[in-house]
């Protein structure tokens, strides 16, 4: 049976684990040829190997989204291996728990360098490739509920994720005439290593005492009353990558169990 992403060449950054790994595997199962890109080469290779072991097409690439040369090499690898680039998911990201007054200059720079500038450079370099190919493309940026609402324990993370929404809207307007669509996904409370680190950050800051207290506290606020798994995000990601969403651009889709109502 043909997949919904047959013949597409797709890059997923931060695909060595968590949400990115799940998206990469789902894209491959839908027929895409996937570049599994991560700063952690070993994790990226494991994900690519899993995809190939189940009959899919994938390569792994080491990328650091803070470095333009590294991003260019990632895109060249996609073009060389899979003949072009149709979709990129700018998913690589970091998080940190810091009370507002404690965010240092360095905390700010580190956060924005990966989560905002990293997304900008990945967008620029991938869009240049799509423009050269001349048949459009789909750019999917990973924002967050923190890109829609400020949270007092992670203001710099929120600023980076609001920034991702701004980049999404600006690029959608800039490249709509070239049929390059740019959309963002806002996950909520997803059970990944990132949230384990955030939960630990709450405890380190003395904001919570028990393991998973912060995690469960946020989950309790969702309308659906359960945490998200990376699999909850695959449906919307496949949709945004596929031609089913050909008339959608500049949008930010909240997939978070009902936590932030737009
Ligand atoms: N987990 C959540 O609840 C949640 C909620 C909303 C948004 N998000 C966003 O979704 C994305 C994925 O989150 P996750 O929970 O899977 O996180 P994760 O920490 O489990 O995975 C992130 C991946 O990004 C990679 N990465 C980090 N810095 C990088 C860099 N400079 N270059 C390349 N790769 C780099 C890491 O090695 C890791 O494999 C992030 O952008 C995150 O902000 C997550």
Q: Which structure tokens are listed for 60?
A: 């792994």
User: Given this model, what pLDDT does residue 262 score?
Assistant: 75
pLDDT at 224: 98
- For range 58-71, the mean pLDDT: 98
pLDDT in tens, 130-179: 999 999 999 999 999 999 999 999 999 999 999 999 999 999 999 999 99
Counting atoms of ligand 1 from 1, which one is nearest the CA of 20? 16
Mean pLDDT of the 76-89 span: 98
User: For the segment 227-236, what is each residue's pLDDT rounded down to a tens digit?
Assistant: 999 999 999 9
Q: Is the Cβ atom of 237 under 6 angstroms away from ligand 1? A: no
Across the chain, where does the E strand assignment appear?
Answer: 9-13, 33-38, 57-62, 87-90, 137-142, 180-187, 252-255
Instruction: State the average pLDDT for the chain.
Output: 97
Separation of alpha carbons 75 and 83, rounded Å: 11
Q: Which domains does the chain have, with CATH numbers?
A: 9-188+229-255 (3.40.50.720), 189-227 (no CATH)
Question: Which pLDDT score, from 0 to 100, does residue 1 have?
Answer: 53
pLDDT of residue 148: 97
- Residue 183 Cα to ligand 1 midpoint, Å, equals 18
Mean pLDDT of 173-187: 98
Residues with catalytic function: 157
Taking residues 58-86, report their average pLDDT: 98
Quick one: pLDDT at residue 23?
98
Ligand 1 mean position to 91 CA, how many Å? 6
């Amino acid at each position: 049976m043909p997949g919904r992403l047959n013949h597409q060449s797709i890059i997923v950054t931060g695909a060595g684990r968590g949400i990115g790994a799940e998206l990469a595997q789902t894209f491959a199962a839908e027929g895409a040829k996937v570049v599994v890109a991560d700063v952690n080469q070993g994790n990226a290779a494991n994900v690519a190997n899993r995809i190939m072991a189940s009959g899919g097409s994938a390569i792994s690439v080491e990328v650091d989204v803070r470095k333009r040369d590294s991003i260019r090499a990632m895109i060249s690898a996609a073009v060389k291996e899979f003949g072009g680039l149709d979709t990129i998911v700018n998913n690589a990201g970091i998080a940190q728990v810091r009370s507002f007054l404690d965010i240092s200059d360095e905390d700010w720079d580190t956060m924005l360098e990966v989560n905002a500038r990293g997304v900008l450079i990945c967008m620029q370099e991938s869009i240049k490739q799509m423009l050269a190919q001349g048949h459009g493309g789909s750019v999917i940026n990973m924002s967050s509920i923190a890109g829609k609402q400020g949270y007092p324990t992670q203001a710099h993370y929120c600023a980076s994720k609001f920034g991702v929404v701004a980049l999404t809207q600006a690029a959608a307007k800039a490249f709509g005439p070239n049929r390059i669509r740019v959309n963002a996904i806002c996950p909520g409370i997803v059970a990944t290593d990132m949230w384990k680190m955030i939960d630990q950050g709450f405890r380190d800051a003395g904001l919570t005492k028990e393991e998973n207290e912060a995690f469960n506290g946020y989950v309790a606020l969702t309308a659906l009353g359960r945490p998200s798994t990376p699999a909850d995000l695959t449906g919307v990601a496949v949709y945004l990558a596929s031609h089913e969403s050909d008339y959608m651009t500049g949008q930010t889709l909240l997939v978070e169990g009902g936590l932030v109502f737009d």
